[in-house]
Structure 1
Amino acid sequence: MSDPAAQPRRGRGRPVGSDGASTREQILRAARELFSEVGYDRATFTDIAARADVTRTNINHYFRSKDDLYRTLFEADKGSVLTTGIADAQTRADLADRIAVFLRTAMQVDAEDRVYTRFLAASLFDALRNPELGDWATEQVDYVRGFLRAALETAAANEEIRPDVDIAAATEMLIAAIWGMAMYAGFVGTPEQLEPMIDQFIGLLRGALA
Structure 2
Amino acid sequence: MSSIRERNQELILRAASEEFAEKGFAATKTSDIAQRAGLPKPNVYYYFKSKENLYREVLETIIEPLLEAAEPFNQPGEPGDVLRAFIRAKIRISRDHACASKVFANEIMHGAPHLSPERVAQLNAQANHNIDRLQGWIDEGLMAPIDPRHLMFSIWAATQTYADFDWQITTVTGKASLDDSDYEAAAETIIRLVLKGCEIRERAAQPVSQ
Q: Which TM-score band applies after superposition, normalised by the shorter structure?
A: 0.7 to 0.9
2:13–2:58 contact (8 Å) kept in structure 1: yes
Equivalence for 1:3: none
User: In 1, distance between residues paired with 2:152 and 2:123?
Assistant: 8
Equivalence for 1:152: 134
User: In 2, distance between residues paired with 1:122 and 1:182?
Assistant: 15
User: In 2, distance between residues paired with 1:183 and 1:110?
Assistant: 6
User: In 2, distance between residues paired with 1:161 and 1:89?
Assistant: 15
Aligned length in residues: 186
Of 186-195 and 56-65, the range deviating more from structure 2 = 186-195
1:144–1:175 contact (8 Å) kept in structure 2: no
1:118–1:185 contact (8 Å) kept in structure 2: no
2:15–2:37 contact (8 Å) kept in structure 1: yes
Deviation at 1:107, TM superposition (A): 2.0
Equivalence for 2:6: 21
**Post-superposition, which runs of at least 4 consecutive aligned residues in structure 1 deviate over 4 A?**
134-141
1:27–1:48 contact (8 Å) kept in structure 2: yes
User: In 1, distance between residues paired with 2:26 and 2:72?
Assistant: 34
Equivalence for 1:142: 124
User: In 2, distance between residues paired with 1:23 and 1:174?
Assistant: 41
User: In 1, distance between residues paired with 2:111 and 2:26?
Assistant: 9
**What's the secondary structure of 2:141's corresponding residue?**
coil
The two structures have a TM-score, normalised by structure 2, of: 0.73
Deviation at 1:131, TM superposition (A): 6.7
Pairwise CA RMSD: 3.1
Out of 32, 43, 50, the residue aligned to residue 58 of structure 1 is 43
Out of 116, 140, 148, the residue aligned to residue 170 of structure 1 is 148
Which residues in structure 2 correspond to 1:1-210 (within 5 Å)?
A: 19-79=4-64, 81-91=65-75, 93-111=77-95, 113=96, 116-129=97-110, 132-133=113-114, 138-139=120-121, 142-162=124-144, 165=145, 169-171=147-149, 173-186=150-163, 187-188=165-166, 189=169, 190=178, 191-207=183-199
Which consecutive unaligned segments of at least 5 residues does structure 2 have? Answer: 170-177, 203-210
User: In 2, distance between residues paired with 1:183 and 1:108?
Assistant: 10
User: In 1, distance between residues paired with 2:47 and 2:106?
Assistant: 26
What percent identity do the matched residue pairs reach? 20
Deviation at 1:101, TM superposition (A): 0.7
**What's the secondary structure of 1:159's corresponding residue?**
coil
Of 147-156 and 39-48, the range deviating more from structure 2 = 147-156
The two structures have a TM-score, normalised by structure 1, of: 0.73
Computing the radius of gyration from Cα coordinates, the structure with the larger value is 1
User: In 2, distance between residues paired with 1:197 and 1:184?
Assistant: 14
> Can you list the C-alpha shifts for 1:126-181, whole angstroms capped at 9, x where unaligned?
3432673376795576255223212213313533235xx36xx421x123212312
Q: In the alignment, residue 93 of structure 1 is paired with which amino acid?
A: G
Cα gap change, 1:125 to 1:155, in 2 (>3 Å)? same
Equivalence for 1:4: none
Cα gap change, 1:90 to 1:127, in 2 (>3 Å)? closer
Q: In the alignment, residue 138 of structure 2 is paired with which amino acid?
A: A
Cα gap change, 1:178 to 1:139, in 2 (>3 Å)? farther
User: In 2, distance between residues paired with 1:88 and 1:149?
Assistant: 13
Deviation at 1:32, TM superposition (A): 1.0
Q: In the alignment, residue 199 of structure 2 is paired with which amino acid?
A: G
